[in-house]
Amino acid sequence: MKKCLAALLVLALGLSLAAACGAEGESTLYVKKVENLPEDFIFGMDASCVIALEESGVKYYDFDGNEEDVFKVLKDNGVNYIRVRIWNDPYDANGNGYGGGNNDIDKAVLIGQRATKYGMKLLVNFHYSDFWADPSKQMAPKAWAGMEIEEKTQAVYEYTRESLIKLRDAGVDVGMVQVGNETNNLMCGERIWFNIQYLMQAGAKATREIFPEALVALHFANPEKAGSYATYAKKMDYYQVDYDVFASSYYPYWHGSLENLAAVLDEIAVTYGKKVMVMETSYAYTAEDTDFNGNTIGDGGAIVKNYPFTVQGQANNVRDITDTIVNHVTNGIGVVYWEGTWISVGGKSWEENSALWEKHGSGWASSYAAQYDPNDAGRYYGGNAVDNQAMFDQFGHPLESLKVFRLMRAGNEIALRADALEDVQIICDLNGTLQLPDTVNAVMNDDSKQEIPVVWHLSEEDKQDMYAGGVNQYVITGTAGGMEAHCYVSMVEYNFLQDYSFEENSSAWVFTDLTQADELYIEDKKTDSLTGTKHAHFWSAKQNSVEFTLEQQVEELPEGKFKFTISIMGGDAGNTDIYAYVKVNGEIVAKAPLKITSYGNWDTAATDAFAHHAGEAVTVGIYVKCQGAGNGAWGKIDDALLNSVK
Ligand code: CA
């Protein structure tokens, strides 16, 4: 049914594609048009690390493969805002940089001038810290340590004012100033809103004086925390903080759904008449690391992966966020991609890269940051943990996803193709037939899901080796939609019984006492079990008081040939009559004798093969009768197997 639907879809799309092609024929990126996109919508790129990277030897290229100023490449691809973070003094007493770009005001001036040169506005991001500020970390700058709130407020005002004057005097076109970074209940060492609001007011005041045309933004994170944004906005309103933009980080791995993001931002825009935007987002285009410093986002971990980790997936994330901000919230003004230019410094080993990170501050933190930030930077300093989320490859060439900013305006709804394939997992009975699926699940370039045909590369010889290899695991590769598909096959001896080792206390096994044994039960005693910790136990004090069956009625047995195997050990048994058996429709069709000898000597027996046809009821079991040597007998039964045979 599903397969038919997929075929119809392809047919229908094939018809509509002829009309869609040609809009942006040069890109292989699928981009669904964002309707109602304003001409002046902010498409920002945080490019804070660029200068430290260039000092480390990094070069950037345009789409033709020519070396080019990365700011020009960004501009040519639809970016109109450059965001830059500013730390007050990210250096130790000897002038060694803390890393993360060593971004002080002087770096911001250099970055701002280059943004201005190519006609992009600068979004100034004051952290009011000497290093990274985020929801869990808002340390005051060294120079402001111990300041009371009045003094600190004045310091924020003066520092903001002086920094903005430097930018103004350097001719930088500042479009927006962010007062604090991800200030969720914390800012610049302050922990109560009564104090935090003074700092925000001071930053806003300085901005209004130096860049009266610029927007003042406040920036928060964790839109998924119910009620938190409404609370922040209410506090701002209560204290009458002067700001224009309520901005949010939105990393889809952690920050909830786009619907929730739209709802919480819209509420603030409507209630308080503020502009809203996404101030940070990014997405992985690959799970691979490129700089010998492990990445925050990879294949594992309990995170939400809304899109495949592909260049197309990265672009779809940006497109869908933009659509949300433009069409699903009131007063949505922009989306800024975070550090899309932060790539590997390009060395061939960790040591080589580490030397560059330490010297130029091009990793997330250098060892010199340890004194200021001992618990985080001091312990985990190193390179780039987001190189797989950049919009440039490790060599500085732009990824096709960078075109998304430009292509969203008209759309680039090219032919659908598979963008990522789901792995297939199969368990195959060694005596059964290996059946590989003829389709695999694909995520298409428009983020829709389809089942597409697959051709597996498995020779008859390979297949025979798999059957000959016993219990084992294999990966079979195939081709689907022009990509490599993977099928993980576990070759097993499939056991058609439930609770085969008596570990689950299930009702699958039934004892029937035919005399009056003293003890018949499932016992939990590892030393007396063949495998696991439990087994079926029997014991009786008197002679001739052990006679019972232990049976399981088999559920959902396919047609075919099977054999039943079970194990027993015990002692003091005297004359015995013990056998494993199979009943089909109530008649015993196969038997295998067993014997009890002494403690620890397990006897295992398998019945001959028997055939099972559709509709027949199959029961397997063991019959045990012991005369007892002197007194009664005892024993243990474990590990029942019902396997198919050829
Ligand atoms: Ca890395």
Q: Provide the β-strand partners of residue 252.
A: none
**290 CA to middle of ligand 1, Å?**
6
State the catalytic residues.
182, 280
pLDDT number for residue 10? 33
pLDDT number for residue 17? 36
**343 CA to middle of ligand 1, Å?**
8
Over range 436-450, report the average pLDDT.
97
**344 CA to middle of ligand 1, Å?**
7
**496 CA to middle of ligand 1, Å?**
47
The answer to whether 108 and 124 have CB atoms below 8 angstroms apart is yes
> Between helices 258-272 and 228-238, what is the axis angle to 10°?
20
pLDDT tens-digit series, residues 46-68: 999 999 999 999 999 999 999 99
Q: Is the pLDDT of residue 225 over 90?
A: yes
pTM comes to 0.81
- With bands split at pLDDT 50, 70 and 90, how would you rate the model's confidence at 25? low
- With bands split at pLDDT 50, 70 and 90, how would you rate the model's confidence at 556? confident
Q: Is the pLDDT of residue 5 over 50?
A: no
Phi–psi pair at 57, nearest 5 degrees: 105, 0
**250 CA to middle of ligand 1, Å?**
21
The answer to whether 141 and 88 have CB atoms below 8 angstroms apart is yes
**529 CA to middle of ligand 1, Å?**
49
Q: Provide the β-strand partners of residue 280.
A: 249
- With bands split at pLDDT 50, 70 and 90, how would you rate the model's confidence at 623? very high
**288 CA to middle of ligand 1, Å?**
8
> Between helices 193-210 and 228-238, what is the axis angle to 10°?
70
**73 CA to middle of ligand 1, Å?**
23
Phi–psi pair at 360, nearest 5 degrees: -110, 0
**295 CA to middle of ligand 1, Å?**
5
pLDDT tens-digit series, residues 348-393: 999 999 999 999 999 999 999 999 999 999 999 999 999 999 999 9
Residue 196 is inside which H or E element, if any?
Answer: helix 193-210
pLDDT number for residue 300? 79
- With bands split at pLDDT 50, 70 and 90, how would you rate the model's confidence at 23? very low
**33 CA to middle of ligand 1, Å?**
32
pLDDT tens-digit series, residues 145-204: 999 999 999 999 999 999 999 999 999 999 999 999 999 999 999 999 999 999 999 999
**183 CA to middle of ligand 1, Å?**
26
Q: Is the pLDDT of residue 267 over 70?
A: yes
Over range 221-250, report the average pLDDT.
98
SS (H, E, C) 25-91: CCCCCCECCCCCCCCCCEEEEECCCHHHHHHCCCCCECCCCCECCHHHHHHHCCCCEEEEEECCCCE
**474 CA to middle of ligand 1, Å?**
30
Mean per-residue pLDDT of the chain:
94
Amino acid at 194: F
The answer to whether 387 and 381 have CB atoms below 8 angstroms apart is no
The answer to whether 27 and 403 have CB atoms below 8 angstroms apart is yes
Say which residue, 21 or 65, is predicted with more confidence: 65
Q: Is the pLDDT of residue 253 over 60?
A: yes
The answer to whether 114 and 45 have CB atoms below 8 angstroms apart is no
Helix/strand/coil for 139: coil
With tokens 């971990």, the residue in question is: 301
Over range 5-12, report the average pLDDT.
33
Which burial class, exposed, middle or buried, applies to 44 when counting CB atoms under 10 A from its CB (0-12, 13-18, 19+)? Answer: buried
Q: Is the pLDDT of residue 16 over 80?
A: no
Q: What is the DSSP string of 589-633?
A: EEEEEE---STT--EEEEPPPEEE-TT--EEEEEEEEE--SSS--
**444 CA to middle of ligand 1, Å?**
27
Spell out the residues 6+ positions from residue 420 whose beta carbon is closer than 8 angstroms to its own.
308, 309, 310, 313, 442, 443, 483
Beta strand 424-429 with 483-492 is parallel
Nearest CA among 629, 19, 92, 99 for reference residue 360: 99
Percent of the chain with pLDDT over 70: 96
Helix/strand/coil for 379: helix
**296 CA to middle of ligand 1, Å?**
8
Structure tokens belonging to residue 326: 């433009």
pLDDT number for residue 433? 87
